[in-house]
Structure 1
């Protein structure tokens, strides 16, 4: 018998907060100052779902990086300022969080400090237990399944009782490796692909989840 949906695991960047294009704009500025012109959109597409290490690897394709730690520090400082001033929740995510009363957690490749700050800056922290925010820095980066498997264990449900909401293929790969059902939230999608659970806006994601809850 198929398990009913009992809990939701949210990615953070690109699912809860509209941060990825801001991050890409910081990398774009850093490259521009080093003589390389690449648009934030192009960088965002290349880096989506990655982590700071894969981002610096990307930077090294275009410029020499003699001190990776210094580059990371520079990025962290710049992005913290940009996020504090410009970060917004993903459109309609708050309605989903208000209307769907299921246990939930956050599992992100970003550091825990960044997850907490992003939720604080967008006033979404009130929808999550502070003890149920999990980072790839602590449990392994996606596409490995370890982060999601830890999240399932922490919230007390089996993988097939949970649903992952992701906006990157790396995250979807991690969910599949963990045998957790998933939704691929892709901002560029205009038409819903119900068969593959691909959605372009949070209103449709909310409708899908409510239909799953009501059908059980």
Structure 2
């Protein structure tokens, strides 16, 4: 089989794949970490936290602090993230045209929380492409990447075989989950290192939605 006939469905990650939000999340978290006395660069924040579910991020932060996070940390981070999102969140260049021309069932599968995902899709203008029944977030699914179960459960909800699905990911936790799920995995502008990409045996890498291979 060739082209779209090769797959039964396409499962898209959100951050760094559909919307250009990774930089925003990094900036917001950097500001919040500095506010509680953690000296770390934005580059280090990106390397440490990108692709992880929020509960795992909290665990890492508490390890850094050597104690539970302060009560105000969550509110500060949420406010900073939402401010930056409403200010500058946009869809990835060219992704709307890809979604509009896709003749396969598709969904978004993300480590975001439910309301956070809804806000990202609304602000970026991608909400019409993803009705609620095609949104699979870590909060709703009860599992997060790198656990492959989030993708397997999403496929089950869609009534398709995960082994017949195509997954589009960028982060190492996401790529790890995708490969372990049994699906075909393509990396879009991967944040993972070349060594990680090679170790995971990613099926295809592309860097621009205008080069969408399907």
- Report the TM range for the smaller structure's normalisation: 0.7 to 0.9
Partner of 2:54: 52
How many residues get paired? 205
- The 3-state SS of whatever aligns with 2:46 is helix
Distance 1:188 1:131, change over 3 A: closer
Distance 1:33 1:166 in 2: 31
TM-score by length of 1: 0.84
Partner of 2:167: 164
TM-score by length of 2: 0.85
Tell which deviates more after alignment, 31-40 or 166-175: 31-40
Distance 2:72 2:135 in 1: 27
Distance 1:100 1:69, change over 3 A: farther
Distance 1:53 1:69, change over 3 A: farther
Which consecutive unaligned segments of at least 5 residues does structure 2 have?
193-197
User: Of 79, 91, 94, which aligns to 1:77?
Assistant: 79
Partner of 1:201: 208
Kindly report which structure 2 residues correspond to 1:5-16, keeping only aligned pairs within 5 A, or say none: 5-16=7-18
Partner of 1:214: none
- Counterpart contact for 2:53–2:145, Cα < 8 Å: no
Deviation at 1:12, TM superposition (A): 0.8
User: Of 94, 97, 104, which aligns to 2:96?
Assistant: 94
Partner of 2:137: 135
- Counterpart contact for 1:24–1:44, Cα < 8 Å: yes
Distance 1:96 1:115, change over 3 A: same
RMSD: 2.6
Partner of 1:124: 126
Which consecutive unaligned segments of at least 5 residues does structure 1 have?
211-216
Deviation at 1:85, TM superposition (A): 1.4
Deviation at 1:5, TM superposition (A): 1.1
User: Of 178, 182, 187, which aligns to 2:181?
Assistant: 178
